[in-house]
Structure 1
Amino acid sequence: MATQQIESSAPQPVSPLEGEVVRLQALLDQGHYQDALDAVTPLLATWPENRDLLLIAAMAQRHLKHTVEALALLTRLDAVKPNFPPALQERGLCYVALRDATQAIDTLRLAVAINPALPMAWRMLDGLCRMIGNTEGADIAMRQCAHLASLPPPIVRAKSLFYNGEVKFAERLIRDFLLTYGDHPEAMRLLAQIGFIDNVLDDVELLYTGVLAMVPDHHEARAEYVQTLIARHKFAAASEALQPLLVLDPASHPHRTQLATIAVGLGEHQLAITQYRAMLAEIEDDDFNANLRRADLYLWLGHALKTVGDLPEAIAAYRAATDARPDFGDAWWSLANLKIYRFDDRELDTIRRCEADPATVPIDRIHLAFALGKALEDRREYEHSWAAYARGNAEKRIESKYRPEVYEKNTSEQKRICTPALFAARSGWGVEARDPIFVLGLPRSGSTLIEQILASHSLVEGTQELPEIVHIVHELQGREMDFEEPRYPQSLIDLDAEAVRKYGEQFMRDTRAYRIMGRPFFIDKMPNNFRHIGLIHLILPNATIIDARRNPMDCCFSNLKQLFAQGQEFTYSIEDIARYYRTYLDLMRHWDTVLPGRVLRLINEDLIDDPEGQIRRLLDHCGLPFEDACLNFHQTRRSVRTPSSEQVRRPISRAGVDQWKPYAQWLDPLADALGDALETWRD
């Protein structure tokens, strides 16, 4: 909990120190600056790094015209909480006192860039910009002042809390406001922003729909609504929602970035590439944060180029991203994740230096660790490679909210609910379409190879890892997830024939946007759909299901050295991945028992040893005639978005078999955790 500056509010204090902070703030509000300074000084001796005490002391010193002392306190505060908006505002006011307009404007602009709900900062910017003749900047500040003044004070206070990082307190305040005063577009928008952080995206979508119904020309809310639809993989709806913004400001980089992201989601990669290149050409060296913006655009450009198979250009884009921002972990990892790139000594030195730098932010440090692990693996420096992978996994696991017992509970519930009797009683339900081919299993199990083989067939279209089954699961389990008594899969029992058919039709309708080639069959390669085979069978009884399986040591090790863009939180510790693999085997055995013959198991090692025989077996299961193109899958030009994109553009080889063995001395805990799965994984 933190007491905010004068324009913000804070929850009621719950500890003696917090009570003192509230009392000191009151002294400032009443103009008793020396009393506040006298009272805060002994407290700082006990709590020298307390953010709120340092800020109160700095404010008191400035009001007492001790500006140098105030700036020294703010420097101490910045070491504790860098770029804290109230501290930046206070620093800007100190520069105003020193008559340093340039420093004041730069600092106050940074403050409002992070927290746009600072009326005092906007008022000062208005005056400062007019003083130096910057009428455009002054007009922007004046409009922001007027906007904040038009809002009820509780909304302004809640916004300030939110932007300062006090999200839970902001949520409490804004919910109280809505309960008292009813619907208000800015209050609903703030609640949606909080929901986006908490990943309750169905609620967020509804809130933005409500905001735009009340204020159709609320452009900021519309942009956030588009981002929500993108996060929900509703790319067609996002494209439609974005159009008014593009018409209003077709040159806007934020709008065009969303356009490119949507294009990638819909498989229109050339459109995305064109947009990224155009925006890069438009950035001027004196643009605000020019290098940071270039780094992001080069990264996204590299991803799109990699997806379409233009590897030299992708490498050039990733390297340009690292040139623009040397500590950009995602760009370094993207080079490593190509699986074929080799770092030179200079690049390795940069990666090591940036990972070791305390100023490197955690997300970059994690990416750098995984990139270093791969670089050293390629050099056969296995001990240091494993140490880097271990560091990356440990940091990633710390930030993860993964709970293995949730997935184990789901497995036991699937086995309890999805019985032969359940399926027999619902025979003939669902949608009769044969179009979908589900390729599922664990990540890094060979599913991309299977997808590439199938997508080389003239009757089959490869798409991507589609989220539609997961969307249906979220509907079935409800918004309030009870991990002890989950609604799903229990809710499958309550579905009648009409509801089952509705979900089948929903899947077919929502996946239509990905089927740009119009072929009779299409692939959904979401690996974790293995958890929902019962649901898939009910709503799409004629769909094809393929289980991609790989030796547990290779599969688990490959996951441990893979940093995923999102999800797959079970891959960042030996214990988690081993437990998940065993749970996967347990559930797949259940599906084999209750739905015999429904799922084709394709073993990665068998496919490598006997490609033609296994490919013919695969095509037979799909009801497809054999085509030579499936055997020559590596010659097929198509978009591939997974980490295995470059491997499947080469002929089958044994390069991925037994990759764990050079690391064997560090993987005994993995073998122990897998237990009898090492012997029974083929069953």
Structure 2
Amino acid sequence: MAADLQTISAAREALSSGDVARAEALALAARTEPALALDAIEVLALAAKARGAGERYENLLREAAVLAPERTWPRNDLAEWLHETGRLRDAEAVLRRTIADQPGNPDALMRLGNMLSEREELVEGAEHLEAAIRIVGPHPQLLADLGRNLLRQGRLEEAGPLLAEAAHAMPDALPPLTWLAELEEQAGRFERACAVLSRAEALALRQGSDVTLQRVTLLSRTEEWPMGLAMLEAETAPSGPALLLRGRLRDRAGRKTEAWDDFTAGKDALARAASRSYPARAVGELVRQWQDVFTADRFAGFLPAERRKGVPQPVFILGFPRSGTSLIEQVLASHSRVRAGGELPFGRELAELAHARTQGAFPRDPDGMSEALLDTLGTHLRDHYLARAERYGLLEKGADFFTDKLPLNALYLPLLQLAFPQSPVIVVRRDPRDVMVSAMSHDFTHGFACGYRLEDLALHYARMDALTEHWLEELPVPAHELRYERFVGDQEEETADLMAWLGLDAEPRQMAFHTLPRHAPTPGHAQVREPLNRRSIGRWKGYAKELAPVLPVLTEAIERGGYAAFDSPIASSGAQEPTIN
């Protein structure tokens, strides 16, 4: 046995020195000894990775996980490899199995927490990060990861101390400082943001990097925005986010052609970096399947769930990204009886649940659902949704409603109606041309990654607008249509009408929604902290030439919203200096 142990030790030394062939030979010799098989497999796996033999590396990790299910490294390394190679769902499955078998595995909890955070499932991601901290204590990296997650949720007061502690404990780590500066900026504390960012800049300079983008983001919120534009124009190879920000600043300076060039180049860079593209054909087929399932006659065959008494009910806010949904949510959440839920992922989960409960029939085979399923699906959907809402802290007493503004809910609306047939639906409309300009100037992944080319944006907008109209005509949806431009023009009357429709009296603080301490964790966070203004209405007119190729796709949506002939004093007054939205 001693000789075998020496063989493993020699194999590790050979691997460390770069002699992969010798390491493999020694490990293969030791692998015949059962007591050393796991160590030998580990060496062989590392050697395969060093050679770039990814498939062999993965197979060896899987073999090690079966051989020693109690050990943590095989599953942790397998999940990391799957994540690195873009198989995120497979990585998630491995991590969830690991946590089920090894609930005390902090590495798996951290990895899953960060993975969920990356794809905006922030509440569950935070839960896993918090569980890891309970096991290992306040590790600085875990504190930083959790702080970043809470920052993205808009929970600034909770995120601040975590990021501050992480920055203190890791003085040479740049991310906690930059996240802390971002937090201060989003909270409107610009002097403190500048102070933290100065610390970050000094550290970045020592490390050979920079925080120019964040400095310009901060300047863009002040009268010194031209200085920020000059900084970005001095960049030789700006990143995708930098191009979008530079475009927004050039737009503000009235340099429309240059701004649009930045928008398109920034979007292209972001799409290539993340390998994102819009699956136009697949989305079209999915929409068709949903419409086949939820015709008026078929929908009437489902038994809607009864309202669960004693808990707040969801208010569904439908609208394309950049259409004003964050604004409407902020106005609603300023009311004492309404809580902000944000972009809840529950609609997609209901679709997955419906697919599972129909054993794959939904949505491809609308006739393959049993009568028993038709009678019980709505209740199951309601119970799942409310269980998730409770986990998000949205069912606390003291409120009548909570908001759900995930943009994709236009697709999931029939399932949401089965689960909550009495729940209000607010359909937010804005001139599609203004939406296109605003959407091109910001990064977002909603809508099956439609936001990276103007052509895809227009196609998906047209599809979702037509689908929403279809549901309103076919299904018994209790909907209130709200036009962004009219809301800006008469906030008081529009707010009163909206709240009356919800069965609540408007409250004075709703007129000062921008003072609400809540932070909206969306690209529109800066706008909902400002009083209403007309600056972004008619912004599209500066980009009429650039939008011309997609106008045929948007024509029906424009006319459906009444915008082709829309000639109110608001619209005809002309855009003032455009906001960075």
TM-score (norm 2): 0.78
| One-letter amino acid matched to 1:411 | V
Q: Contact 2:301–2:374 at 8 Å: present in 1 too? A: no
CA RMSD of aligned residues (A): 3.8
Aligned to 1:578: 458
Deviations 1:30-74 (A, max 9, x none): xxxxxxxxxxxxxxxxxxxxxxxxxxxxxxxxxxxxxxxxxxxxx
Distance 1:645 1:219, change over 3 A: closer
Secondary structure of 2:318 counterpart:
strand
Alignment of 1:283-302 (within 5 A): 283-284=170-171, 290=172, 293-294=173-174, 296-302=175-181
Aligned to 1:305: 184
Deviations 1:69-92 (A, max 9, x none): xxxxxxxxxxxxxxxxxxxxxxxx
Distance 1:121 1:419, change over 3 A: farther
Alignment of 1:618-637 (within 5 A): 618-637=498-517
Q: Does 1:372 align with 2:246?
A: yes
* Offset of residue 581 of structure 1: 1.1
Q: Contact 2:323–2:430 at 8 Å: present in 1 too? A: yes
* Offset of residue 542 of structure 1: 2.0
Alignment of 1:572-611 (within 5 A): 572-611=452-491
Identity across matched positions, percent:
22
Secondary structure of 2:167 counterpart:
helix
Aligned to 2:278: 402
CA distance in 2, matches of 1:282, 1:366: 31
Q: Does 1:332 align with 2:213?
A: yes
Distance 1:632 1:272, change over 3 A: closer
* Offset of residue 478 of structure 1: 6.2
Aligned to 2:577: none
* Offset of residue 651 of structure 1: 2.2
* Offset of residue 194 of structure 1: 4.2
* Offset of residue 379 of structure 1: 1.8
Alignment of 1:353-432 (within 5 A): 353-354=234-235, 356-357=236-237, 365-398=239-272, 399-429=275-305, 431-432=307-308
* Offset of residue 197 of structure 1: 4.9
Q: Contact 2:407–2:446 at 8 Å: present in 1 too? A: no
* Offset of residue 533 of structure 1: 0.4
Aligned to 1:223: 110
Q: Contact 2:104–2:135 at 8 Å: present in 1 too? A: no
Alignment of 1:22-421 (within 5 A): 119-120=12-13, 123=16, 151=38, 153-154=40-41, 156-158=43-45, 170-171=57-58, 174=61, 177=63, 186-197=73-84, 204-212=91-99, 214-231=101-118, 241-242=128-129, 245-247=132-134, 249-264=136-151, 268-284=155-171, 290=172, 293-294=173-174, 296-314=175-193, 317=196, 321=200, 324-325=203-204, 332=213, 335-336=216-217, 340-341=221-222, 347-354=228-235, 356-357=236-237, 365-398=239-272, 399-421=275-297
Secondary structure of 2:341 counterpart:
strand
CA distance in 2, matches of 1:165, 1:334: 39
Q: Contact 2:458–2:554 at 8 Å: present in 1 too? A: yes
CA distance in 2, matches of 1:196, 1:375: 36
| One-letter amino acid matched to 2:450 | F
Distance 1:507 1:160, change over 3 A: farther
Aligned to 1:497: 375
Alignment of 1:426-445 (within 5 A): 426-429=302-305, 431-432=307-308, 435-445=313-323
For structure 1, list consecutive stretches of 5 or more residues without a partner in the other structure. Answer: 1-117, 126-148, 285-289, 358-363
Distance 1:208 1:553, change over 3 A: same
Aligned to 1:564: 444
Deviations 1:232-278 (A, max 9, x none): 76666655544564355434211212332454466542121111122
* Offset of residue 341 of structure 1: 4.2
Q: Contact 1:445–1:604 at 8 Å: present in 2 too? A: yes
Count of residues in correspondence between the two structures: 524
TM-score (norm 1): 0.67
Deviations 1:416-439 (A, max 9, x none): 111222332224435446611111
- From 457, 463, 470, the counterpart of 2:335: 457
Q: Which is bigger in relative contact order (C-alpha 8 A, separation at least 6)? A: 2
- From 534, 542, 545, the counterpart of 1:665: 545
Aligned to 1:446: 324
- From the CA coordinates, give the structure whose radius of gyration is larger: 1
